[in-house]
Amino acid sequence: MQSHSNWSPSDPGSALLAERYGNDSEAVVEALRLIRTRQGGLTSAAIKSVAAALKLPASRVYGVATLNCMLGVAATTSSDKTARVCDGPACWLKGAAQACTALEARLGAGWRVERSSCLGLCDQAPAALLEERPVGGLPTCPEHVEATLPITVETVYELPRPVEVRVMLARAGRVDPDSLDSALDHRAYVALEFALTAPREGVLAEVEAAGLQGRGGAGFPTGHKWWMVEQAPQHPKYVVCNADESEPLVFKDRVLIDSDPHQLLEGMALAGYAIGANEGYIYIRGEYGPQATRLERAIAQAEACGCLGDHIFDTNFSFHIHVHRGAGAYICGEETALLESLEGRRGEPRLRPPYPTTHGYHGLPTLINNVETFSAVPAIIDHGAGWWRGLSSAATPGTKLYTLLGHVNRPGLFEAPFGLTLRQIIDDFGGGMRPGATFRFALTGGAAGTLVPPGLLHVPIDYASAAQGVSLGAGAFLVCDQTISPVSVLRELLHFFELESCGQCTPCRIGTHQARQILDRLAAGQGRACDVDELSRLADTLQRGSLCGLGRSAAIPMQSALRHFRPDFEAAVHDDQADH
Amino acid sequence: MTIRLTINDQLVEAEPGQSVLEAARASGIIIPTLCHHRDLSPVGSCRLCVVEVEGAPGEIAACTLAAQNGMVVRTETPALGQFRKTILEMLLSSYDDDGNSNVVRAKTEFMHWANQYGAKRLARSAAVARFPVAADPNPFIRVDMNKCILCTRCVRACAEVQGRFVWGVSQRGCESEIAAGAGTMMLEARCESCGLCAAVCPTGALEDKLSLGAGQPDRLVTTTCAYCGVGCQLDLNVKVGRIIRVTSNPQAPVNGNHLCVKGRYGYDFVHPANRP
């Protein structure tokens, strides 16, 4: 029999890792990323070396390495670089498949070209990541490739659209995101300094009074969540920012971080003060490398000036923020999967209850909010809850970031109050449909959103409008004209859910796979007679039986598409196949 | 304080912290399960044990649902039956047992529930073999991951009971698979061949190599392991006067389902060819 231990202290790889990460089992993704960068791929030997250094079982490290698609487990080491071409809906509409072929031809040897779930670069579609570098506006025919690569993307949203109301984007384009001085000139950290002069209950009361709702998509009342964490008896408590923005068609958090990172950091510090936490973590998706670097720089600057770190503004309040990079897994945006991943395990959702508010990071009370939610807090504290409520006449107070894509004249990102109708979004903010384009339907909310027919263009959209068939979700809108079939859009969505399911529970693991197979047939006009009913049954099983929100919400676009566009699905059934 | 709830019109008592599933089992009410095992922490992933609770929307997994006073639970309704059939058919669609002609167990837990709920393998979605059959050279445990339904009992048994952490879940989505160590052979992943993973496997993806093709026992003989001083109890599976297999006995006071490699697999000394 072979020896039981494969660890030898002389292994230079593990010795180096052990020294750098000091047996920190939560650094598993960081350690894997380091090895992958050095060796060009993760082999069994490399994984065992990481496991030995961090004193973890090899099976656990292997599980993490294979769940996260940016880590790339391979049979052999390779010096090839990886290009990941976005496979999201916005890039799909703009011919990402052709762009992928063209890019592959252009890059040639030394590159491995893969497809990837939405990279959050929808406003530059078709887009790709060359290793960690984002490139956008990829040419779709090979002869144009030569001239235009490389393209480095810098998103600028300096100029508001005519009807925009800017709060979270108020400083976008006006401050230098890499300069604390520039941010301080524009009232950064004023709210925090002011809040620290008064008891922390004041911050909590103000956020509660403002009626702020979570911007991740569910719209949970933020003040109530803060209160629950504040009330939880255990200590210490943690603040976690969910910056794992992986919902297709959504890139608002990227823009918020790129345009004003200190606003987010200030919001997190205010939350920490309100709930009595001294540590904060930003879990940012691995694809947002430049944004993670930007946050780290901003944190270092703020700590050096006493705006963050120990004894903020010479008070007794200390708050440290750490940036944790993910490695390519949509499921890690589910808050309990995020916590698992943060703790160095596979990002698989936890059973609930208990909830993170009492049993979160390390089993301790943890406040998890979205980037946009935290980013709204400084303005609320600075101007007051009444002002925030006055921004909007809709039931949901305040403003929201929207991403608008597809066949409109001015796609992109804007900020506005709640209660907009799809008609307003297209005409007032998007400059109307493109010449020659007639509105056929829109996908609203994100991949886990609704397909909206023309008959619902008048519905005011907020967190409650999903009941009427128009979900707000994370605020994404993909507008499609007469050339796009709802069947093919739904196929793209299920393709996404299939690839991003963690595989833990049966309905999601197999249901999304079966639904995608059916939609492949239907999108090709080769559907079988029972396919439409089968799709409907799968949606029902996913919605009723899935363990977490990912599986349950994969059913939302299926059910909504079948409700409004059933004839399109039925027309895709090929009669010859009827008796198979 | 005892909790009182109603399951299928029957008044049932439960201890605080017990799940609805445990409370039901203690009262003789059977709820089908695959990922649940009494010795292992509940994960609620197979979704077979879903029940209906009055006043709560949808179906809820009984294995992870804490029993509460006044709960009214139904474990068998037409809707639940249909749901379970769908789940089982989903699992069957990725289950392939072509490479398994000489099975150890006549009827696995998985096949038992599939038959009970009338789940059939749909010809057109028949699974294809994704993994090599019996490729792992472990001397005692036969691996055929084509029969794996990802219940993760083996993963939890190895980690929670045996403490070796050999098995883990790797990949994701419908590509998910159970792998030893860093995708290696079992022994390389520090396996001690205790065989607990094979004992808890509900599908026969992991099986006892020594008993392949031996058929079914005539009788079980409960005895005490002769190897060391712990005194583990085990069941000799006897067929025509010969031991064809050793299984653990959940009622064993010292060891429960747990056995070591010697107790579970070291029985060939009883029938050596050179013994008079």
Summarize the confidence of residues A112-131 as an average pLDDT: 93
Cα–Cα distance between B202 and B111 in angstroms, integer? Answer: 9
pLDDT band at A11 (very low <50, low <70, confident <90, very high): low
Cα–Cα distance between A133 and B67 in angstroms, integer? Answer: 52
Contact A505 B47 (CB under 8 A): yes
Q: What local confidence, expressed as pLDDT, does residue B17 receive?
A: 92
pLDDT band at A580 (very low <50, low <70, confident <90, very high): very low
Count of alpha carbons within 13 angstroms of residue B110, beta-carbon side: 27
Helical spans, DSSP H, in A384-473: 385-390, 422-424
Whether the Cβ atoms of residue A270 and residue A308 lie closer than 8 Å to each other: no
Task: Please tell me which of the candidates B42, B87, B171 has its beta carbon nearest to residue A507.
Answer: B87
Residues of A in contact with B187 (CB under 8 A): 1-2
pLDDT band at A394 (very low <50, low <70, confident <90, very high): confident
Residue type (1 letter), B126: A
pLDDT at B139 > cutoff 90: yes
For A259-270, give the DSSP string.
H-HHHHHHHHHH
Whether the Cβ atoms of residue B165 and residue B112 lie closer than 8 Å to each other: no
Question: Is the ipTM value over 0.90, yes or no?
Answer: yes
Contact B47 A506 (CB under 8 A): yes
Cα–Cα distance between A347 and A63 in angstroms, integer? Answer: 10
Among candidate residues A147, A80, A77, the one with its CA nearest the CA of residue A113: A80
Summarize the confidence of residues A177-204 as an average pLDDT: 96
Task: Please tell me which of the candidates A51, A503, A506 has its beta carbon nearest to residue B90.
Answer: A506
For A129, list phi and psi in degrees, rounded to 5: -110, 125
Distance from CA of A196 to the nearest CA of B (A): 42
Please count the other Cβ atoms lying within 10 Å of the Cβ belonging to residue A293. Answer: 14
Instruction: Give whole-number Cα distances, B112 to A138, B28, B33, B34, in Å.
Output: 54, 18, 11, 11
Summarize the confidence of residues A134-163 as an average pLDDT: 74
pLDDT band at B101 (very low <50, low <70, confident <90, very high): low
pLDDT tens profile A305-336: 999 999 999 999 999 999 999 999 999 999 99
Q: What is the DSSP letter of A141?
A: S
Q: What local confidence, expressed as pLDDT, does residue A107 receive?
A: 87
Cα–Cα distance between A359 and B241 in angstroms, integer? Answer: 56
Q: Is the pTM of the predicted complex or chain greater than 0.90? A: yes
User: Which of A54, A500, A506 has the most B C-beta neighbours within 10 Å, making it the best mutation to test the interface with B?
Assistant: A506
Contact A62 B58 (CB under 8 A): no
Q: What local confidence, expressed as pLDDT, does residue A144 receive?
A: 64
Instruction: Give whole-number Cα distances, B259 to A103, B100, B196, in Å.
Output: 57, 25, 7
Between CA A383 and CA A385, with CA A384 as vertex, the angle to 5 degrees is: 135
Q: What local confidence, expressed as pLDDT, does residue A151 receive?
A: 63
What percent of chain A lies above the pLDDT cut of 70? 94
pLDDT band at A5 (very low <50, low <70, confident <90, very high): very low
Residues 10-69 of A with CB under 8 A from B: 44-45, 47-48, 51, 57-63, 65-67
Q: Does residue B58 or residue B197 have the better pLDDT?
A: B197
For A202-264, give the DSSP string.
HHHHHHHHHT-B-TTTT--BHHHHHHHHHH---SS-EEEEEE---STT--HHHHHHHH-HHHH
Whether the Cβ atoms of residue B173 and residue A509 lie closer than 8 Å to each other: yes
* Phi/psi-derived region of residue A33, left when phi > 0, alpha when psi is between -120 and 50, beta in every other case: alpha
Burial A535-572 (b: 16+ CB within 10 A, else e): bbbbbbbbbbbbbbbbbbbbbbbbbbbbebbeebbeeb
With a CB cutoff of 8 Å and minimum separation 6, the contacts of A494 are: A512, A515, A516, A519, A554, A558
Summarize the confidence of residues A42-64 as an average pLDDT: 92
Task: Please tell me which of the candidates A51, A510, A545 has its beta carbon nearest to residue B94.
Answer: A510
Identify the weakest region by mean pLDDT among A74-88, A549-563, B174-188, B224-238.
A74-88
Contact B90 A2 (CB under 8 A): no
Distance from CA of A554 to the nearest CA of B (A): 13
Q: What is the DSSP letter of A55?
A: T
Mean pLDDT, all residues of chain A:
92
Task: Please tell me which of the candidates B47, B86, B172 has its beta carbon nearest to residue A503.
Answer: B172
Residue type (1 letter), A566: R
Q: What local confidence, expressed as pLDDT, does residue A73 receive?
A: 82
Helix (H) or strand (E) holding A401: strand A399-406
User: Which of A59, A520, A536 has the most B C-beta neighbours within 10 Å, making it the best mutation to test the interface with B?
Assistant: A59
User: Which of A6, A68, A510, A516 has the most B C-beta neighbours within 10 Å, making it the best mutation to test the interface with B?
Assistant: A510
| SS3 assignment, position B72 | strand
Q: Give A481's strand partners.
A: A439
Tokens representing residue A465 in the block: 């409008």
Helix (H) or strand (E) holding A82: strand A81-86
Helical spans, DSSP H, in chain B: 20-26, 78-93, 109-116, 153-156, 196-200, 261-265
Q: What local confidence, expressed as pLDDT, does residue A10 receive?
A: 45
Q: What local confidence, expressed as pLDDT, does residue A4 receive?
A: 44
Closest residue in B to A67 (Cα) is: B171
Q: What local confidence, expressed as pLDDT, does residue A329 receive?
A: 95
pLDDT tens profile B214-264: 989 999 999 999 999 999 999 999 999 999 999 998 899 999 999 999 999
Residue A414's Cβ-count burial label (10 Å; 0-12, 13-18, 19+) is: buried
Closest residue in B to A329 (Cα) is: B172
Q: What is the DSSP letter of A456?
A: G
- A6-14: which pairs have CB atoms within 8 A and are 24 or more residues apart? A6/A48, A6/A52, A6/B188, A7/A48, A7/A52, A11/A49, A11/A52, A13/A46, A13/A49, A13/A53, A14/A49, A14/A50, A14/A52, A14/A53
Q: What local confidence, expressed as pLDDT, does residue B125 receive?
A: 54
Tokens representing residue B44 in the block: 């609620």
Residues of B in contact with A6 (CB under 8 A): 188
Distance from CA of B219 to the nearest CA of A (A): 34
Summarize the confidence of residues B127-135 as an average pLDDT: 85
pLDDT tens profile A414-466: 999 999 999 999 999 999 999 999 999 999 999 999 999 999 999 999 999 99
Q: Does residue A514 belong to the interface with chain B, where contact is any CB pair within 8 Å?
A: yes
Q: Give A444's strand partners.
A: A450, A477
Among candidate residues B63, B105, B116, the one with its CA nearest the CA of residue B201: B105
Q: What local confidence, expressed as pLDDT, does residue A154 receive?
A: 62
Summarize the confidence of residues B62-78 as an average pLDDT: 96
pLDDT tens profile A232-258: 999 999 999 999 999 999 999 999 999
pLDDT at A153 > cutoff 90: no
* Phi/psi-derived region of residue A187, left when phi > 0, alpha when psi is between -120 and 50, beta in every other case: left
